């Protein structure tokens, strides 16, 4: 009798422990599934802006086309890239090799390529159009290719290059955007839920001054030079007589060329690509507005468009959807928890 009671108790204990282990395994699996589907970041956009005209600013066009080539290679499609070029160096009569733009004197890479899609060209590259693009305040007739159709789940890369000074960046040598105007545009984007995270990257003289006025959340920024410093070019091409790329963009491109779509390189590593001994100017960054540590954010979260897929043999049970006209509010809520503010007049 004693033996049977002991055996019974042991069996009960083992059964209880078995049930506990099954529960913990199921809960852990559900948490993993929840984390996988609640990443928040679902799409990528890139806004690439060259603000300079004239042949002697060839390097600025090469800068932006270099970044354009990299983000396309890493998976961001042209439909999610807004490319703004203030001048067309590929078709300039001074260009000895028509329909090409090179960022290296040895002509290793034609960054213009044969499938470039320029969305804003020439005199369409203005401060007004740039601000309207970011904030979504465009005329109804504006085509989709000229719209930034981002949402609250979008990661946006914004790259700008041109001539600048303390607190401003010149457009077309005729107007400029100030750091206050840029900061206010980003705030409008945040209020209108047009982004989840922004990576702002600028290559110009005194570039640090352009992000000092930012006050909106979820922005990571890097600049090619500190206030009071010039951002220098890297090397020239004797066959065309001008410099072909700036130093910071040259080393950033060198880093990106070694990255593939499945890379585990982080934004923290990217922020260190151009130390002062090679850039001559001091590359600076701003991280206080960004919610995560750059060392924990993948580079492809901004420069690529990679979707992680998890394969499982387990059955995932989704809640049923009622066939009735009125859907249970506990399953799907159709009532938004926020509304858009009234827009300012377009004109």
Catalytic positions, please?
A: 163, 205
Rg for the chain, CA atoms, rounded:
26
Burial label for 276, CB within 10 Å (0-12, 13-18, 19+), is exposed
Contact 247, 281 (CB under 8 A): yes
Beta strands of the chain (E only): which ranges? 43-50, 81-85, 120-121, 154-161, 164-165, 168-171, 175-178, 197-203, 219-223, 233-237, 242-246, 284-286
Quote the CA–CA distance of 333 and 118 in Å, as a whole number. Answer: 40
SS3 19: helix
- The 3-state DSSP class for residue 65 equals helix
- Cα of 202 vs its chain's centroid, Å: 13
């Amino acid at each position: 009798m004693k033996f049977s009671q002991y055996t019974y108790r042991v069996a009960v204990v083992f059964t209880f422990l078995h049930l506990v282990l099954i529960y913990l395994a199921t809960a852990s699996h559900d948490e993993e599934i929840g984390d996988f589907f609640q990443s928040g970041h679902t799409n990528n956009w890139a806004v690439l802006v060259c603000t300079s005209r004239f042949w002697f600013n060839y390097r600025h066009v090469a800068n932006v086309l270099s970044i354009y080539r990299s983000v396309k290679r890493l998976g961001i499609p042209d439909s999610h890239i807004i490319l703004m070029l203030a001048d067309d160096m590929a078709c300039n009569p001074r260009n000895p090799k028509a329909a090409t733009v090179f960022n290296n004197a040895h002509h290793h890479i034609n960054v213009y390529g044969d499938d470039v899609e320029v969305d804003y060209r020439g005199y369409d590259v203005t401060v007004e159009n740039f601000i309207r693009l970011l904030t979504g305040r465009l005329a109804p007739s504006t085509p989709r290719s000229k719209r930034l159709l981002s949402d609250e789940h979008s990661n946006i890369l914004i790259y700008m290059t041109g001539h600048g000074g303390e607190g401003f960046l010149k457009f077309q040598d005729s107007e400029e955007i100030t750091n206050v105007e840029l900061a206010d545009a980003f705030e409008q984007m945040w209020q209108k839920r047009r982004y989840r995270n922004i990576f702002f990257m600028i290559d110009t003289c005194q570039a640090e001054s352009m992000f000092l006025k930012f006050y909106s959340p979820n922005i990571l920024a890097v600049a090619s030079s500190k206030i009071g410093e010039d951002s220098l070019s890297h090397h020239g091409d004797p066959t065309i007589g001008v410099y072909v790329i700036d130093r910071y963009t040259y080393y950033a491109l060198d880093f990106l060329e070694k990255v593939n779509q499945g890379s585990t390189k982080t934004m923290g590593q990217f922020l260190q690509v151009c130390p002062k001994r090679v850039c001559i100017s001091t590359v600076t960054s701003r991280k206080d507005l960004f919610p995560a540590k750059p060392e924990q954010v993948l580079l492809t979260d901004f420069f690529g468009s990679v979707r992680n897929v998890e394969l499982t043999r387990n059955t995932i049970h989704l809640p049923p959807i009622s066939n009735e006209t009125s859907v249970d509010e506990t399953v799907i809520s159709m009532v938004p928890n926020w509304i858009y503010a009234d827009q300012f007049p377009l004109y």
